[in-house]
Amino acid sequence: MTTKRSSSGSKAVSRSSRQSSSPKVGFVSLGCPKALVDSELIVTQLRAEGYVISQSYQDSDLVVVNTCGFIDDAVAESLDAIGEALAENGKVIVTGCLGARNDSDGGNMVTNVHPKVLAVTGPHAAQEVMEHVHRHLPRPHDPFSDLVPEAGIKLTPRHYAYLKISEGCNHRCSFCIIPSMRGDLVSRPIGDVMREAKALLQSGVRELLVISQDTSAYGVDVRYRSGFVEGRPVRTKMLDLVRELGKLAQDHGAWVRLHYVYPYPHVDEVVELMGGGGVLPYLDVPFQHAHPRILKLMKRPASGERNIERIQAWRAALPDITVRSTFIAGFPGETEKEFEYLLDFLREARLDRVGCFAYSPVDGAAANDLPGALPDEIREERRERFMAVQAQISAERLQRFVGRNMQVLVDGVEETDAGIVAVGRSAMDAPEIDGVVRFVGEGRLPIGDFVQVRITGSDEHDLEGEMIDPS
Ligand code: SF4
């Protein structure tokens, strides 16, 4: 069972095969793309050692649950998933962010609620998880089972994959407990990252999604020292990595999309690399707020940057660049005036893609001690007002694509009131968080590949059109 559950309850495809004599492990994967990459590492290792990834609790000899511990809803979902696995199977190993969290009594949050779990680890602990699996379900001796694809086992659809370039974070944003769970920034060697990227592209991946806690900080921890890529020295630095990934993606006719980019000055040079193919003109920049006092309380990195001017300069260089961001409404002490300031920023910045959370106090976060906590209704009301403003901006911005042709990566099909339509994503749309392009067309639908679509309509978040022909 390789099940990816999220707050929306989606399930990922499983590509496991069954071998009746091999020990079977069920796998439940919750949380963000970084947790998903941890799941992929563990599933890859399990498969490499000859374990079978099972399709049901009943069919599993043991279940691993990879948890999320970021906000209260995620904690509740993770604890429910562990309870379900215990009830249905009984032998459960827990890993992930929730595993690193303690209750107010100092005891581990998972074992306090579910004392019968076999073992608990924190995030980024594939080796530790494997040691627990070996102890409770000894590894089989089958040399043939070591044959797994070089790109590892992926829980995403075959045509896109997350590429994690670092772990941990050097910042200490007051609403976040990730650094206390995952530690300071540790950048992966650039040679390893590029080898993984190449193996993924060679295995048929058409879109690489670069993730980390702070992509712009890649290499800071190792002082940008040089590593080796195909025998050439290359600095462990965001600009160099993006240049290398862009060339590699172009050679394979694929896309590279950058997430979690903080607007440090050197990001302007990265934007210059986006005009030439390979690296998409897409920047996921988590601003979180716009008012200087709230940004200071949040202790946000790069909060002193003149963000409106930066966005305008990026758009002057690349008119179709997509700028995505996330925000928090109702942070402790946020006044109505400061929230209005945020709305004004949004109206002026006219961002393309935006997500907004009502502030949610996370156990252990420094922001919980700030004065002026707002009632739930005000936080939620501000989130809704924020999203209403953005919906109008998004609808206006999407209209400019009507009548144009766009390259679209086909994700699959969807049933609508008008019948079955194809669904894909343009350069503007990251999977699961942005909009989609729905389209109709004649002939074979190349799922997992690119087509050209003529855009005929738009709404608040999505586009619609007609397939021209495979591109
Ligand atoms: S940049 Fe801030 S929000 Fe992001 S992981 Fe680091 S501390 Fe958390």
Dump pLDDT digits (tens) for 363-409: 888 999 999 999 999 999 999 999 999 999 999 999 999 999 999 99
Residues in CB range of 57: below 8 A, 6 or more apart: 1, 26, 63, 84, 85, 88, 89
Say how many Å lie between the CA of residue 173 and the centre of ligand 1.
5
CA dist., res. 343 & res. 345, Å (int): 5
Say how many Å lie between the CA of residue 169 and the centre of ligand 1.
6
Are 263 and 302 in contact by the 8 Å Cβ rule? The answer is yes
CA dist., res. 78 & res. 88, Å (int): 15
> Whole-model pTM?
0.75
Asked whether residue 309 carries a pLDDT value surpassing 60, the answer given is yes
Asked whether residue 418 carries a pLDDT value surpassing 80, the answer given is no
CA dist., res. 220 & res. 401, Å (int): 39
Specify the amino acid at residue 308. I
CA dist., res. 110 & res. 30, Å (int): 15
Say how many Å lie between the CA of residue 418 and the centre of ligand 1.
43
Asked whether residue 9 carries a pLDDT value surpassing 50, the answer given is no
- In 3D space, the residue among 296, 390, 308 whose CA is nearest the CA of residue 343 turns out to be 390
For the chain, give the mean pLDDT: 87
What is the mean predicted confidence (pLDDT) over 63-87? Answer: 89
Specify the amino acid at residue 96. G
Are 70 and 362 in contact by the 8 Å Cβ rule? The answer is yes
Burial class (CB in 10 A: 0-12, 13-18, 19+), 24: buried
CA dihedral (331, 335, 340, 345) in degrees, to 10, reads -50
At 189, is the pLDDT very low, low, confident or very high (cuts 50, 70, 90)? very high
HSE-CB at 4 with a 13 A cutoff on CA atoms is: 22
Q: Say how far residue 169 (Cα) sits from the centre of its chain.
A: 16
Tell me which residues have their CB closer than 6 angstroms to ligand 1: 169, 171-173, 176, 178-179, 213-214, 301
pLDDT at 442: 83
Dump pLDDT digits (tens) for 226-256: 999 999 999 999 999 999 999 999 999 999 9
Asked whether residue 304 carries a pLDDT value surpassing 80, the answer given is no
Specify the amino acid at residue 57. Y
CA dist., res. 395 & res. 67, Å (int): 35
CA dist., res. 203 & res. 415, Å (int): 29
pLDDT at 137: 85
CA dist., res. 325 & res. 76, Å (int): 26
Dump pLDDT digits (tens) for 119-141: 888 888 887 788 788 778 876 55
What is the mean predicted confidence (pLDDT) over 157-172? Answer: 92
Helix (H) or strand (E) holding 243: helix 238-251
Q: Three-state DSSP class for 99? A: helix
Q: Which of 176, 297, 300 to mutate to test the pocket of ligand 1 (most atoms within 8 A of CB)?
A: 176
Say how many Å lie between the CA of residue 259 and the centre of ligand 1.
13
Are 62 and 133 in contact by the 8 Å Cβ rule? The answer is yes
Calculate what percentage of the chain has a pLDDT beyond 70.
Answer: 91
- Residue reference for tokens 């420094």: 366
pLDDT at 136: 81
Residue 124: C-alpha distances to residues 49, 130, 182, 430 (Å): 19, 12, 8, 24
Q: Three-state DSSP class for 182? A: helix
- Residue reference for tokens 């502030």: 359
Q: 465: how many CB neighbours lie within 10 A of its CB?
A: 27
Calculate what percentage of the chain has a pLDDT beyond 90.
Answer: 59
Specify the amino acid at residue 94. V
pLDDT at 3: 55
Q: Three-state DSSP class for 142? A: coil
Most confident of 41-45, 52-56, 446-450: 446-450
Residues in CB range of 183: below 8 A, 6 or more apart: 167, 168
pLDDT at 151: 64
CA dist., res. 68 & res. 48, Å (int): 25
Say how many Å lie between the CA of residue 300 and the centre of ligand 1.
8
Q: 357: how many CB neighbours lie within 10 A of its CB?
A: 16
CA end-to-end distance (rounded Å), the chain: 36
Dump pLDDT digits (tens) for 91-119: 999 999 888 888 878 788 898 999 999 98
Helix (H) or strand (E) holding 235: strand 232-235
At 303, is the pLDDT very low, low, confident or very high (cuts 50, 70, 90)? low
pLDDT at 144: 45
pLDDT at 305: 67
Burial class (CB in 10 A: 0-12, 13-18, 19+), 276: exposed
pLDDT at 187: 95
Q: Three-state DSSP class for 372? A: coil
Say how many Å lie between the CA of residue 215 and the centre of ligand 1.
11
CA dist., res. 454 & res. 469, Å (int): 10
pLDDT at 75: 87
Lowest-confidence region among 30-44, 52-66, 279-293, 325-339 = 30-44
Residue 14: C-alpha distances to residues 40, 43, 52 (Å): 12, 11, 12
Nearest CA to ligand 1 atom 5: 213
* Closest-lying ligand 1 atom to the alpha carbon of residue 177: 8
- Residue reference for tokens 């894909």: 424
Are 450 and 407 in contact by the 8 Å Cβ rule? The answer is yes
Q: Which of 166, 173, 182, 262 to mutate to test the pocket of ligand 1 (most atoms within 8 A of CB)?
A: 173
Q: Which of 71, 170, 178, 262 to mutate to test the pocket of ligand 1 (most atoms within 8 A of CB)?
A: 178
CA dist., res. 397 & res. 72, Å (int): 34
* Closest-lying ligand 1 atom to the alpha carbon of residue 213: 5
3-class SS string, 268-322? HHHHHHHHHCCEEEEEECCCECCCHHHHHHHCCCCCCCCHHHHHHHHHHHCCCCE
